[in-house]
Structure 1
Amino acid sequence: MDNSNSKTALAKTALVLGATGGIGGEVARQLRDAGWTVRALCRGGEQALERRDGMVWIRGDAMNRADVVSAASGCQVIVHAVNPPGYLRWAELVLPMLDNTIAAAQANDATIVLPGTVYNFGPSAFPLLREDSPQEPVTRKGAIRVELEQRLRTASDNGCQVIVVRAGDFFGPKVGNSWFSQGLVKPNLPVKAVQLPGAHGVGHQWSYLPDVARTMVALVQRRDTLEPFATFHMQGHWDADGTQMAAAICRVVTKRGGAKPAVRAFPWWMVALASPFVATLRELREMRYLWHVPLGMDNTKLVATLGYEPHTPLDEAVEAALEGMGCFAAEAAAAIKSGVVRIAAH
């Protein structure tokens, strides 16, 4: 952090929306560890205000503008990492949630930080995404993400600073819903098999969640040097032929004493059968096109801004992810014994 910048040096309070989720929780913890006062808005809890994990948890709803504006009072940064649970009413709720965040940011002259996605892009931007690549989505969800970022751009034209960090598919110890934790392997169970959603030979972009959070925090610390609407892409971990992530999982499992997992094709046929009845599976099926083409990201702008990109070696990151998910024998056995195993529907 540049201590010569008084605003950046002194302003140290952030509101995180979605702090109980994967990316929101990781950013909240890393902001806390970097010396920030972190407020986390959450729907659960019996108290209106609770201090735990070194953060201030505030009861409220991201769909309620008054709750968001109140929680953001005096904040210099708002991390918008909230999504409707299980994709339920996703199209209906996502944009109103963002509008509430924009209103809170404008009321407090705060910077909005958004975890971006690749859903905004279609084949016209492939195979290498840059910050200025055309956003021509081919799915309903992608069109909503384009509209979401357009509203942020409009807000930035009206004096609200925005930072968007776009990365590949998340994986990590506490990632929640993700292709890694819900598709390739299953949480709280020993890894007996790895399921590959993509075709052999098709490259895919992965991003280790703690690296993404570190990147966001580093950019927040430099926010006064950035343009009003600043978008950055992370290179993350590039799986050149669609098999390297599975190979890393197999290496880590055998290193920890397990039998080498089988590697299988993801059962897309099951998704097709079940998707009419399960909202999450409908969303997965809609985004299947991202597994049919190689899709990488250019981090030139990020490296030029920070001088580096946070990057944990692949095997180290995979081991931390599997351990955090309870996939090793001791953790899985404890989970089974305590009756907390939850098998994700595919």
Structure 2
Amino acid sequence: MTDDGGLHVIFGTGPVGMSVMDELTERGRRVRMVNRSGRADVPERVEVVGGDASDPAFSREASAGASAVYFALNPPYDKWPELFPPLQAAVIEGAVAAGAKLVAVENLYMYGPTDGLPLTEDLPHAAETRKGGVRARMSQELMRAHESGRARVAIGRASDFFGPRVLASAAGEQVFGRAVEGKSARVAGDPDQPHTYTYVPDIGKGLVILGEREEALGRAWHLPSPETVTTREFVEIAFEEAGKPARIQAAPKIVLRAIGLFNPPLRETIEMLYEFEEPFVVDHSDFARTFGDHATPLRTAIGETVRWYRDRLSGMG
């Protein structure tokens, strides 16, 4: 059964929210986007409203008339414990008031280290990090809202993402921006460990599928990702596509700690370094079996990302 009509409301105009918008507009859906400013670079037919999404009254107003609500907000990295749960709680209220499905995007922090075992959706939430704990509690809150009958919820989980519009990510500007300029890519942890990276347009498509399909409700799904390679191999492909000789600079933990003394968002990345110090391989076979595997091949995805960064660089010049 699919949901083909109605208004689709996206909370968040970052790379994930914009990729959801891309997918929905391609399918001819009506879209309203929600952010703090009320401004975003979107097609004319897409409505944008501004306000404080942590205010339940505003979120109810912004969600009015929706058949599906997408939660793709992400507060500053160093403000997660205080800002993230209230944002989600208010967006749940908006979806409940509208009688809409709620599709939330999550990362994989709630699992904690797996000693290199592949990440599957049935892993326990065993995170010992501050942000992993926040993620686990928020995910449990979403499932409680679904199981109690208050809301109809589906969760899509993605790994570190890359692609057009993605700047602040482990595979963002420090890799692609520097590759197109011929500078050394900066990565954290051990670049020779396998690491799954997710292409942001694939995230948008996956979330829209979850919003359309009734069988998606009531659980979390790992969204399709390209084939897993080591971070070094990933970076080498990016440089190949950029037509530059590959150069990579890996920052050890001691260096990150020193820089983090003066940079709170960077300091927050240090507790997540375990993801780059052991194999971090995401299994999306449940999604593929149920809905099909739409993962973009890795070289194609990296090539598209390099082209976006190159266009951005020429536009800045």
The TM-score with structure 1 as length reference comes to 0.84
Q: Report the CA distance between 1:293 and its aligned residue.
A: 0.8
Match of 2:304? 320
Instruction: Find the residue that maps to 1:120 and give its secondary structure.
Output: helix
Match of 1:244? 233
Match of 1:274 among 255, 259, 284: 259
Distance 1:94 1:133 in 2: 23
Q: Report the CA distance between 1:178 and its aligned residue.
A: 0.8
Distance 1:32 1:101 in 2: 22
Distance 1:125 1:40 in 2: 39
Match of 2:164? 173
Contact 2:143 2:218 (8 Å CA) reproduced: yes
Aligned CA RMSD, in angstroms, stands at 2.4
Match of 2:134? 144
Match of 2:96 among 106, 118, 131: 106
Distance 2:302 2:251 in 1: 19
Distance 1:97 1:109 in 2: 18
Q: How many residues align?
A: 316
Match of 1:58 among 45, 49, 59: 49
Instruction: Find the residue that maps to 1:89 and give its secondary structure.
Output: helix
1:204 to 2:195 alignment: yes
Larger radius of gyration: 1
Which blocks of at least 5 consecutive residues in structure 1 are unaligned? 338-346
Q: Report the CA distance between 1:268 and its aligned residue.
A: 4.4
Counterpart residue type for residue 131 of structure 2: K
Q: Report the CA distance between 1:303 and its aligned residue.
A: 1.5
Match of 2:113? 123
Contact 2:225 2:295 (8 Å CA) reproduced: yes
Match of 1:260? 245
Counterpart residue type for residue 37 of structure 1: R
Distance 2:97 2:190 in 1: 48
Match of 2:281? 296
Residue deviations 1:46-102, cap 9 Å, x none?
8xx998542111121112211110010110111111011x32522101000111011
The 3 A distance-change label for structure 1 pair 247 and 211 is same
Match of 1:213 among 188, 204, 207: 204
Contact 2:80 2:134 (8 Å CA) reproduced: no
Match of 2:27? 34
Contact 2:32 2:47 (8 Å CA) reproduced: yes
1:16 to 2:10 alignment: yes
Match of 2:36 among 36, 39, 43: 43
Distance 1:323 1:145 in 2: 33
